[in-house]
Structure 1
């Protein structure tokens, strides 16, 4: 509830998720090789990737967004991140074996596999910066 006693307006979902990386070219090559996400935008501080037409994965060069950035339409406030972050990508349950084979063929080690109480499965692996990536089948959360 907000201060007026009425519920908050509804959001439609999470549009962007950001990871902060040391080397944009290396990270872009990794995400291209693993996911083949279309590139939406890129410069020396940022690469924006289309995730299934439903979201955007932003790869920021670590420190590259620590100062406000003036753009033609306004100013993007400063932000940055460090440490090993997490992003999860929704997949169909039937595609899980295909994904596991793909990761193996690409030489990407699966760090962990989790079977969830609702019946879903998660497979965890790392990107070149050590960020934890997850492939998630339905029935991990009540909402997915």
Structure 2
């Protein structure tokens, strides 16, 4: 009998790590336009990206700790150190507007180029040093 892998629906959440959650909130809310919907001071701030898509920003010092024995939600410890990567899909016709928006807010563009298939990506850094990409979804299609 052949084993089949059960299907998945897609990506529900992605995580980045930042020690300064206040700076992360300002960046993701005020620069990138994502709305926070859940915050636990010193531990995490969660942002809605799109329907059924969430960006989780955790303080690794808090999430590396195992849950307490009586924890209501016994989420296993997790965390990362050093820069991660997160990519937001942007319609190709809006990438120039994003570039202008970021420049007006003093956000340095680390790279802006076209992939071999002609799709474009813009790279920048968040306050925690994570690599943030704004990309035409055609980079994968």
- 8 Å CA contact retained: 1:118, 1:141: no
Aligned counterparts of 1:86 and 1:116: Cα–Cα separation in 2: 18
- SS in structure 2 at match of 1:89: strand
Structure 1 outlier segments of 4+, above 3 Å: 69-72
TM-score (norm 2): 0.91
Two-structure CA RMSD over aligned residues (Å) = 1.4
Aligned counterparts of 2:8 and 2:47: Cα–Cα separation in 1: 21
Q: Which residue number corresponds to residue 6 of structure 2?
A: 9
Q: Describe the superposition over 1:65-111 as per-residue Cα deviations: whole angstroms up to 9, x where unpaired.
A: 01133653x31000110011100000101111110110100100100
Deviation of residue 6 (structure 1)? 2.6
Structure (1 or 2) with the greater helix fraction: 2
Deviation of residue 118 (structure 1)? 2.0
Aligned counterparts of 1:117 and 1:54: Cα–Cα separation in 2: 31
Q: Which residue number corresponds to residue 62 of structure 1?
A: 60
**Unpaired runs of 5+ in structure 2?**
none
Aligned length: 138
Q: Which residue number corresponds to residue 48 of structure 1?
A: 46
TM-score (norm 1): 0.89
**Unpaired runs of 5+ in structure 1?**
none
